[in-house]
Structure 1
Amino acid sequence: MDGLPYSRALVIGAGSGISAAVARAFAGAGLKVALSARDTGKLAGLAAEVGAATFAADASDPAAVERLFAEVDGAMGAPDVVVYNPSLRARGSLLDLDPEEVRRAIEVSAFGGFLAAREAARRMVPLGRGALLFTGASASVKGYALSAPFAMGKFALRGLAQSAARELGPKGIHVAHVVIDGGVRSASRPEPADRPDSMLDPAAIAETYLSLLRQPRSAWSMEVELRPWVETF
């Protein structure tokens, strides 16, 4: 299993981009992979590629998250790696934002992370092992104008990761928060021809997630920041 001390991974908020690259990297390293999203229809190609099972769930709904983990338990066994990837943006001026849209953005970006962490911990703590990885963003550490809801959600997710790492680390569970500080390359968002490597490559991001799983517990990272070499910060 490529030297990994884990065997089963659940990627919540799966889709294209980072989560798909992480699923490919994990499967390539020998992990069984489960993919979760609100709409599993979009996961058919990726699931077939990596041999993953798919599960429909609203990551911000407590009952849905409990059901998701129970279904994964039954399908492949309790996951010993959980990746929380969902986020929701609500852009606009503080004067104009719809409070319900703001609430929803925070529920998806942060509250769902708590729900996933709780269910993961319920399974990992009795075993004394596991890994819980959270996908952050530039907004995790810097609030931009017209993007307060995203910053609120990502700041909260980072706080959750820090608290969970301090609580669960001594119990054998590796908690890490990955700050994606820059634009992520995709088919619909290619980097400028005159600025090669100016955007983050999802496959390169996934290598960092995989490297976190390989870290010996005597030198665990709690937070990793990733940015292209030309990114300002």
Structure 2
Amino acid sequence: MNSGKVAVVTGVGPGTGVAIVRRLVGEGYSVAMLARSEERLTALANELPNCFAYPVDVTDFHKLHDVLDRIETDLGAPEVLVHNAVGGAFGNFLEIDPKVLDLNFQTNVMAFLHLSRRFAPAMIKAGRGVIIATGNTSAWRGKKKFAGFAPTKAAQRILAESIARELGPQGIHVAYLTIDAVINVDWARKRYPEAPEDFFIQPDDIASEVLHLVRQPKGAWTFSAEVRPYRENW
């Protein structure tokens, strides 16, 4: 049943994004799903109740704001925002095209800024709300083959911390979830064909941690959360 609660999830791909959407729907949220693939979103909206497809490239900020306006008109102001969209690239600083770093910055940092700025005022007025960014190991250390990616995730984490310090005292929970793992999706399986099952983290388990952060009481908030398989070397 639709409880009147609204959530927005970006980066609704076949792994983590879909798992987060399913978990929020199970909690009674109407979920606005953002991703570039209209076909994928439409299929999911037809499969699950209270899911709504809003295809958009989150780096096209003019179109993004149009979509966010439509979400508020169609569903109402969201109580939960999960920025799961991610831009990534592999290569050292001599190999990467500098344009790749800029594009990843737009996805990982600037889109998160636009989304938070758009929805925070209504959350402040209501005195409640949750904003979560999903990150990864690159947010904490820059390995040599991650020059086109890690700087943007580190910036995303620091932006989230700045937002958290601003909004926390106003009743809005802001959290950064570091996924220190290889996620169990098709492309990762192909890249690590010999890896055992417990080498991967399951999207459903990531979604469980997102829901845990959403549910946390005001007296015990987590800003920086981490999830990793027991085999992961950290």
Same fold (TM over 0.5): yes
Which residue pairs with 1:177 in the alignment?
Answer: 176
One-letter amino acid of the structure 2 residue matched with residue 198 of structure 1: F
Question: After superposition, what is the alpha-carbon deviation per residue over 1:10-48, rounded to whole angstroms, capped at 9, x for unaligned?
Answer: 101211111100000010111111101122222222222
Which residue pairs with 1:139 in the alignment?
Answer: 138
Which residue pairs with 1:209 in the alignment?
Answer: 210
Whole-angstrom CA distance in 2 between matches of 1:141 and 1:96: 22
One-letter amino acid of the structure 1 residue matched with residue 27 of structure 2: A
Answer yes or no: is the 8 Å Cα contact 2:41–2:54 preserved in 1. no
Whole-angstrom CA distance in 2 between matches of 1:198 and 1:96: 29
Match of 2:18 among 17, 20, 28: 20
How many equivalent residue pairs?
Answer: 230
Whole-angstrom CA distance in 2 between matches of 1:155 and 1:44: 33
Q: What SS does the corresponding residue of 2:226 show, helix, strand or coil?
A: strand
Which residue pairs with 1:49 in the alignment?
Answer: 47
Answer yes or no: is the 8 Å Cα contact 2:92–2:148 preserved in 1. no
Structure 1 residue 134: deviation in Å?
0.3
**Runs (5+) with no aligned partner, structure 2:** none
- The 3 A distance-change label for structure 1 pair 62 and 188 is closer
One-letter amino acid of the structure 2 residue matched with residue 81 of structure 1: V
Answer yes or no: is the 8 Å Cα contact 2:91–2:148 preserved in 1. no
Q: What SS does the corresponding residue of 1:91 show, helix, strand or coil?
A: coil
Answer yes or no: is the 8 Å Cα contact 2:176–2:223 preserved in 1. yes
Which residue pairs with 1:231 in the alignment?
Answer: 232
Q: What SS does the corresponding residue of 1:19 show, helix, strand or coil?
A: helix
Q: What SS does the corresponding residue of 1:42 show, helix, strand or coil?
A: helix
1:1-233 correspondence to structure 2 within 5 Å = 7-51=5-49, 52-190=51-189, 195-233=196-234
TM-score under structure 2 length normalisation: 0.92
Question: After superposition, what is the alpha-carbon deviation per residue over 1:133-185, rounded to whole angstroms, capped at 9, x for unaligned?
Answer: 10101111111212112101100110011011110011111100000001011
Whole-angstrom CA distance in 2 between matches of 1:98 and 1:189: 23
Whole-angstrom CA distance in 1 between matches of 2:230 and 2:26: 27
TM-score under structure 1 length normalisation: 0.92
Answer yes or no: is the 8 Å Cα contact 1:60–1:115 preserved in 2. no
Two-structure CA RMSD over aligned residues (Å) = 1.9
One-letter amino acid of the structure 2 residue matched with residue 100 of structure 1: K
Whole-angstrom CA distance in 1 between matches of 2:216 and 2:193: 34
Identity of aligned residues (%): 34
- The 3 A distance-change label for structure 1 pair 90 and 186 is closer
Structure 1 residue 112: deviation in Å?
0.9
